[in-house]
Amino acid sequence: MRDTPPLILLAAGGTGGHVFPAEALARELLGRGARVALVTDSRGTRFSQELIVPVHRVKACPLGKGLFRKAFSIAVMGIGVAQAMLLIRRQKPSAVVGFGGYPSVPLLYAAARSGVPIILHEQNAVLGRANRTMAPMAKALCLAFPHVAGIPPLTDTKIVQTGNPVRPAFAAFRATPYPLLDEDGAIRILVLGGSLGASVFSAVVPKALAMMSEALRHRIIVAQQCRAADLEETRAAYAGVGVIAEVSPFFTDVPERMAGAHLVIGRAGGGAIAELAAVGRPSILVPFPHGHAGEQKANAEALAGAGGAWLIPEEVFSPEALAVRLESLFSIPGTLIKTATAARGWGTIAATDNLADCVYDAMGLPTPKSLAGLTSNPDASGKEGNLALSTREFYS
């Protein structure tokens, strides 16, 4: 009888930037015969419906400001650590992989206390607070960007350059050529606002299109992700300037839309950068200006510095500035094609494999070959199990 396959817990914050890379790694680990479970907060469960793996929730909250809020945060995180210790005792994982975000901290700390190997993955060009806190306890610190700021002293020997895992749906379009852009054809713009949408794009993009020449404006077709609260106003704004636009709070087919776009306008999260590079599409990046360490600005600078994007800080992202940029780009299509090629060349398409290899190295196990197509946990015989998605909360 074969040994029970290793169980690997993936700890991720509840936004798509943390959970989507965890999903990509989960698919690869399942394909290699491992068992996988996701540990996140209540937000993260909505991103994990495509995989049939257990989802566990433990208590966590960000560190608040002020004495009372800090004390409350510490108390909640303490409960989370106790829950995570119980989870580890019950599940007996072989490794824990952290993808950042405060919900990952209780499980990572409990794993360190329990002697379970920790592997961290940083999706951004600036090390996040959760990963920076846990880096001294980790066995490996896997990076998506060639240069990452904020790495603690004495952790250099733990660094592994893996790249940022992207979901297979994006990787599948890597070989798709840049869409033909002729003189009279449609110009497709995809506007993405991050996992929560972004009001700035609804305020700026329709007005910018109104300032463009009529000949160009009437060729433009927009697909925009926007906040639900801005939905009707944004639709009316596009209709008012005569632009065909599909506006929705969430698109389920972003990979296909990205592959068909001539230009993407959006935020600069680490996951978004990796997806743009995987598909190979030019973008105008407007970094979220309120990140704790300017990580989105650093992300955008990395891709723009490689010639794969254009960076416009939000404080100067005006309708006038965007209109001038769009007129220039669509008047000289060769620039868009060149930028698309540079974006594709910047990405690390083997990132998921690299990260999975690192996990097996940390466990001290030989690296098995992947069996594509598994989306649920195998049983002890190595066959795919029939395990329904479950969400469990552990309380002390």
| 285 belongs to a structural domain | yes
Q: Of 331, 346, 361, which residue is a domain's last?
A: 346
**Residue 261 and residue 124 share a domain:** no
Q: Looking at the structure, do residues 109 and 253 belong to the same domain, yes or no? A: no
Number of domains forming the structure of the chain:
2
- Sequence-ordered list of residues with C-beta below 8 angstroms from that of 382, at least 6 positions apart, any chain: 2, 5, 33
Read off the CATH number of the domain in which 249 is found. 3.40.50.2000
Domain presence at residue 2: no
Whether 230 and 308 map to the same domain: the answer is yes
Look over the chain and give the mean of its residue pLDDT values, rounded to a whole number. Answer: 89
The pLDDT of residue 47 is 53
pLDDT in tens, 291-329: 778 999 999 999 999 999 999 999 999 999 999 999 999
pLDDT band at 379 (very low <50, low <70, confident <90, very high): very low
pLDDT bracket for residue 395 (50, 70, 90): very low
Query: What does the alpha-carbon distance between residue 337 and residue 307 come to, in Å, rounded to a whole number?
Result: 11
Residues 227 and 331 in one domain: yes
- Assess whether 105 and 191 both reside in one domain: no
As a whole number, mean pLDDT of residues 207-219 equals 96
pTM of the full structure? 0.88
Tell whether 153 and 189 lie within a shared domain.
Answer: no
The residue segments making up the domain with residue 256 are 171-346
pLDDT at 323: 98
88 is a domain residue: yes
- Residues 37, 156, single domain; the answer is yes
Q: 296 and 206, same structural domain?
A: yes
State whether 178 and 83 are in the same domain. Answer: no
pLDDT tens by residue, 120-147: 999 999 999 999 999 999 999 999 999 9
CA 272 to CA 300: how far, in whole Å?
Answer: 10
Output b/e per residue, 119-130; b: 16+ Cβ within 10 A.
bbbbbbbbbbbb
| pLDDT for 312 | 98
> Is residue 203 one of the residues assigned to a domain?
yes
Q: Are residues 28 and 130 in the same domain?
A: yes
Both 195 and 133 in one domain: the answer is no
Q: Quick one: 285 and 307 in the same domain?
A: yes
Cβ-contact 387, 374 below 8 angstroms: no
The verdict on residue 51 lying in a domain is: yes
For 264-289, the DSSP string reads: EEE---HHHHHHHHHHT--EEE---T
